[in-house]
Structure 1
Amino acid sequence: MTGRSGREWASYWRSAEMPLEAMYARFLRHRYHRHSHETYSFGVTEHGAQTFTCRGAGHTSAAGMVMAFNPDEVHDGHAAHELGFEYRIVHIGQELIADVLADVAERPVGLPLFATPVLSSPVLAARLRRLHTALLRGAGPLERDELVSSAVAALVRLAARTPPGPPALRPSAVTHLAAKARELIHDRYADPISADDLAVWTGSSRYAVYRAFRTAYGLAPSDYQRQLRLRAARRLLAQGHPAARVASEAGFTDQAHLTRWFTRSYGVTPAQYRLART
């Protein structure tokens, strides 16, 4: 689906068979709210420059640079100057990354971790650009699979480390408290949850829960709950459900509330996402 009214525009593509999505956009005034994705996300800035915060620091991706976000990595973003920026981004599900690595690796490896969110690599930029272009023009499954494998293999080889398994959480009171609060939010993400609810559930004070959650997950509990609602909305929209129904089922006040946060977080409206060609 493409929306190119005015000077800002966004095109979105989504696969019906696998966890693979792509967006091509130009933004001048749009500001991404702090959000994260369940997937790995790899972008190439084509023109201009965009700046964002991630991992507690500020970063800038200028033309030709690559961005690499791990799953659940919180970030925001906006144009670095008044000329705006144009960029491509591909979202690849963890299971698809695992399948590619199982094919190309000589021994079993864990999922990759990207140490820096901005990379200066013409090789990676070219691989991602080729993959992205093929997806948006509707490449056949064989070409698509080959380009996904090529891009993922290059990204992992040149910019990531692959641990032998998922890293264990450091045992601590803070980690335990945050995980306990996260349990309740996952179970009731579409329902109203108060700070008192989290305090009672965890057996701690409201402030202690808030501080532990921010430390462990990089978001306030309310922001994290909204992320879960947005992810649920993406799944329902991808199934073809209308935005009004999606808003209600995902826990948003109304369709306008869903549209506002969906656009702030993903750069396209719910309608654009639902109608993205597959």
Structure 2
Amino acid sequence: MRYRRLADRPVEAMHAHFERHTYDMHAHETYSFGLTEFGAQAFNCRGEARTSAAGLVMAFNPDEPHDGHAATAGGFTYRIVHIGPELVADLLSDKAGRATGLPLFDEPVLHDPVLATALARLYASLSAEATTLVRDEALAATVAALVHRGAHRTSPTANVKAATVAAHRARTVLNESYLDDVSAEDLAAATGCSRYALYRAFKESYGLAPSEYQRLLRLRAARRLIVAGHPVAEAAVRAGFADQAHLTRWFRRCYGITPGTYRNAGC
């Protein structure tokens, strides 16, 4: 497994082979584009079981929950690139620099050799040997191709995932206090509905239970701290994990790598 993280823009990439590793249900802040090279990966997304076999492209919208595991005994090999939505918006702005709306992918698995080739070239451009111009051109070309061939545009103000009022309020509470020991009763009181009703509304709106979303926020906080240069053990505690081992366990279950590998991936 190799992981790369650009220091000057919100782009990360991984090339990996997994046989026994199982991803827990998680979501990225980014658009995530994966190209399966060997074997097949099975995953759940949007309430359905999916499979990405060799040559297929996976396209996840920001904050779209999914898990994953090998669908064959030999495992699977894939390349995946994570691109921040702000970079996508910038790449898709019109000639006057105005936002034209973020894309949404209707299907998480796409059969398109042109897209597969574009993603392979994009991953290659993220090597340390590539110039900044080559990297920028590959990013722009790949995003344009993905949007043109596999997605539709939203208006700049459209919500990617419309949530119920209660779920939205609960998410706001968690966003503002994810380090706190928030209980189901606290969320129910903040939203004015029962714990069970809130759990159902949140799960239906965001694809994750409130506790899973809180853990995801803590993982993202830990990633930011690690990128900022904090030791992994310190990042773990500051992000709300019991200790470094606790962070490492969930980091690997959700991202497929350890915090140490992520720390050393900058280029």
Distance in 2 of aligned mates of 1:164 and 1:124: 24
How high is the TM-score relative to the length of structure 2?
0.95
Which of the residues 57, 62, 70 maps onto 2:53? 62
- 2:216 is aligned to 227
CA distance in 2, matches of 1:105, 1:96: 16
Cα distance 1:149–1:103, how it changes in 2: closer, same or farther (>3 A)?
Answer: farther
1:3 alignment counterpart: none
TM-score calculated relative to the size of structure 1: 0.92
Q: How does 1:1-278 map to 2 (within 5 A)?
A: 10-102=1-93, 108-168=99-159, 175-278=164-267
Aligned length: 267
Is the partner of 1:213 in helix, strand or coil? helix
Amino acid in the other structure paired with 1:19: P
RMSD over aligned Cα atoms: 1.8
Moved over 3 A (4+): 103-108, 168-171
1:108 shift after superposition? 4.7
- Aligned partners of 1:170, 1:270: CA distance in 2, in Å? 29
Distance (Å, rounded) in 2 between the aligned partners of 1:264 and 1:18 = 25
TM-aligned CA deviation for residue 136 of structure 1: 3.0
Deviations 1:229-264 (A, max 9, x none): 111111111112111111111111111110000000
Deviations 1:157-213 (A, max 9, x none): 100101233325898xx7111111111111111121111111222222211211111
State the distance in 2 between where 1:169 and 1:146 align: 27
In structure 2, the CA distance between the partners of 1:193 and 1:139, relative to structure 1 (3 Å rule), is: same
Q: Which runs of 5+ in 2 are unaligned?
A: none
Shifted more, 97-106 versus 126-135: the winner is 97-106
Report if the CA contact (8 A) 1:104-1:153 is conserved.
no
1:231 partner letter: R
SS where residue 126 of structure 2 aligns?
Answer: helix
Cα distance in structure 1, aligned partners of 2:159 and 2:121: 36
Structure 1: any 5+ residue segments left out of the alignment? 1-9
Fraction of identical pairs, as percent: 58
Cα gap change, 1:123/1:253 in structure 2, threshold over 3 Å: closer, same or farther?
same
